[in-house]
Chains A and B, each alone.
Chain A
Amino acid sequence: MNDMTNAFSGPGPDAVFAAYLADGRFMLQRCDDCKKHVFYPRVLCSHCGSPKLTWQPASSQGTVYSTTVVRRKTEQGGDYNVALVDLSEGPRMMSRVEGLAPHEVTIGMDVRAKIIDEPRHGKLLVFMPTQGGGA
């Protein structure tokens, strides 16, 4: 019953994830039953349906699964990257890779998560190349 209470009462997974992020922490849910990780945050495990999801710190390591350059006029801010990153824990997320030109991001590139302050969204998860990206 405790698990049910945790899953179905109090701030929901969206709010918890956002609160962690606002605190500078990238946290992922892991299923106590099937042991798989879940992203985006959910009430039930999307692999097995279990409500027993526990927050754990993310490794922050990932690999670029696909990438594109959104072409935009220079006066509107110029081209930018949108990438899909496979986290080492398994789930995939949309993000962007920073620290190099948008077209230099390549599929298979190892990347590391970084939380930045973004004027429009507050804290935002982006990724940097692991190579030369520092700790």
Chain B
Amino acid sequence: MKATDLRGKTAIVGVGLGGLPSAPNRSSMEIQTEAVHHALTDAGLNLSDVDGLFTGSSHAFMPALSTAEYLGIRPKISDTTMIGGSSFVGHLLPAAMALQYGLCDVALICYGSNQGSGFGKLKSMSEPQTYEAPYDPRHPITSYALATARHMHQFGTRREDLAEVAVAARRWAQLNPLAFARDDLTIEQVMASRMVNDPLSKLDCCLVTDGGGALVLVRSERAKDFPKPPVYMLGTAMAHWHRQISSMPDLTVTAAAESGPRAFAMAGLAPADVDVVELYDAFTINTLLFLEDLGFCAKGEGGAFVRGGRIAPGGSLAVNTNGGGLSCCHPGMYGTFLLIEAVQQLRGEAGARQVDNAHIALCHGNGGVLSSQVTALLGDASTL
């Protein structure tokens, strides 16, 4: 038995979004449920078909119980592994295993949050970090600012390079009718925006929005029985090396340097094979770090790599095609949206932002403060 046995064995047959671009006066559960409904409709299934539940929350202590009760379902297996915003990409692994071993037949991955509108006030379950808290880091931006400062110091990365990431994300968002931020944006505007934690300004930070996402997964052997073209899980790998930023071994190298190669190995693929890239861009530095750590460019060359609109629409590498956390949505945790955008691209249903000939997508989830990293490679039927 080996990890590669899971290649292609699980198919995503339904996806759904909820609460985008904003959902005032709606609760997190209501937003999540909207996404679940759309995902099940997309798959041609009913709630009663769901017997595996994979969910997470930053404010609920037992989110699987709350979600299942609200939906009126009785899962045979649930998993709520919480490793931050990457959790939902991470849920691909227990979902794939549960499906493969027959512990369930229809797995639902879901998330929803009203963080943008704040109806009901979010209360984080995050545990205090004893040895950092006395210095009043702002969570999580101070940690990302420290990583950014180190990258700039070590590799000569410039604020303009970070701004390039924000502008590329905005240009993709302008092609996505569900994106929250769609106004024109220039590098100069990002550079001139209010400094929050040097060297990160307001426009280097992801949005705070409402939103929900859901995915329906089945064993691949029955994937062709569903209305939409199936998208297959070719490889997924997780790695985490720290919880708090002061324990990160090297602030310029994330655990994506480990999750990426393992996911590629499971899928039998390399970065050059990838047609669409969805990276968890909580801050502009994330995109640079993950392009480097996942092998799209060499370490330290992320800044140079993104210059000249290379990851924007029309560039040579399509990155964060929905507009990302920077310009599409970021309702507390963004993981489901990486997967959903990849599925829509691989099905060819991404409208104005559709990437031509998209057969293989990479989704990369990040959680905590560059802490947990999960890389997933998805493909259409031609990749099996």
A residues whose Cβ falls under 8 Å from a Cβ of B:
14, 39-40, 65-71, 80, 82-84, 92-96, 103, 107-108, 118, 120-121, 124
A-facing residues in B140-159 (Cβ within 8 Å) = 142, 145-147, 149-150, 153
Given contacts A82-B137, A92-B246, contact A71 B196 (CB under 8 A): yes
Let me know if B134 and A124 touch, CB within 8 A: yes
Given contacts A80-B136, A82-B137, A92-B246, contact A103 B198 (CB under 8 A): yes
A71 to B136, CA, bound (A): 12
B130 at the interface (CB under 8 A from A): yes
> Which of B130, B131, B146, B251 interacts with A82 by CB under 8 Å?
B146
- Residues of chain A contacted by B149 (CB below 8 angstroms): 66-68, 107
Let me know if B246 and A94 touch, CB within 8 A: yes
- Residues of chain A contacted by B199 (CB below 8 angstroms): 68
Q: Interface residue tally of chain B, by bracket?
A: 20 to 34
A106 to B322, CA, bound (A): 37
Let me know if A66 and B147 touch, CB within 8 A: yes
Given contacts A68-B142, A69-B197, A71-B196, contact A82 B150 (CB under 8 A): no
B222 at the interface (CB under 8 A from A): no
Let me know if B145 and A68 touch, CB within 8 A: yes
A-facing residues in B189-207 (Cβ within 8 Å) = 194-199
- Residues of chain B contacted by A120 (CB below 8 angstroms): 134
> Which of A66, A69, A83, A96 interacts with B251 by CB under 8 Å?
A66
Given contacts A92-B246, A107-B153, contact A68 B146 (CB under 8 A): yes
A83 to B137, CA, bound (A): 9
- Residues of chain A contacted by B137 (CB below 8 angstroms): 70, 82, 94
B residues whose Cβ falls under 8 Å from a Cβ of A:
130-132, 134-138, 142, 145-147, 149-150, 153, 194-199, 244-247, 251
A84 to B135, CA, bound (A): 11
A118 to B197, CA, bound (A): 23
- Residues of chain B contacted by A65 (CB below 8 angstroms): 150, 251
Let me know if A68 and B197 touch, CB within 8 A: yes
- Residues of chain B contacted by A39 (CB below 8 angstroms): 131
A81 to B246, CA, bound (A): 15
The 6 nearest A-B residue pairs measured at CB = A68-B145, A94-B246, A66-B146, A66-B150, A69-B198, A40-B131
By beta carbon, the residue of chain A nearest B154 is: A107
By beta carbon, the residue of chain A nearest B129 is: A94
- Residues of chain A contacted by B130 (CB below 8 angstroms): 14, 40
By beta carbon, the residue of chain B nearest A122 is: B134
Q: Knowing that A40-B131, A67-B149, A68-B146 are A-B contacts, what are 16 other residue pairs whose CB atoms are under 8 Å apart, sorted by A's residue number?
A: A66-B146, A66-B153, A68-B198, A69-B198, A70-B137, A70-B138, A71-B196, A71-B198, A82-B136, A83-B146, A84-B245, A84-B251, A92-B247, A94-B246, A107-B153, A124-B134
A121 to B195, CA, bound (A): 28
- Residues of chain B contacted by A70 (CB below 8 angstroms): 136-138, 142, 197
- Residues of chain B contacted by A95 (CB below 8 angstroms): 135
What are 7 A-B pairs with beta-carbon distances under 8 A? A66-B251, A68-B149, A82-B136, A82-B146, A94-B244, A94-B246, A103-B198
State how many angstroms separate the Cβ of A19 from the closest Cβ of chain B: 14
- Residues of chain B contacted by A40 (CB below 8 angstroms): 130-131
By beta carbon, the residue of chain A nearest B199 is: A68
- Residues of chain A contacted by B247 (CB below 8 angstroms): 92
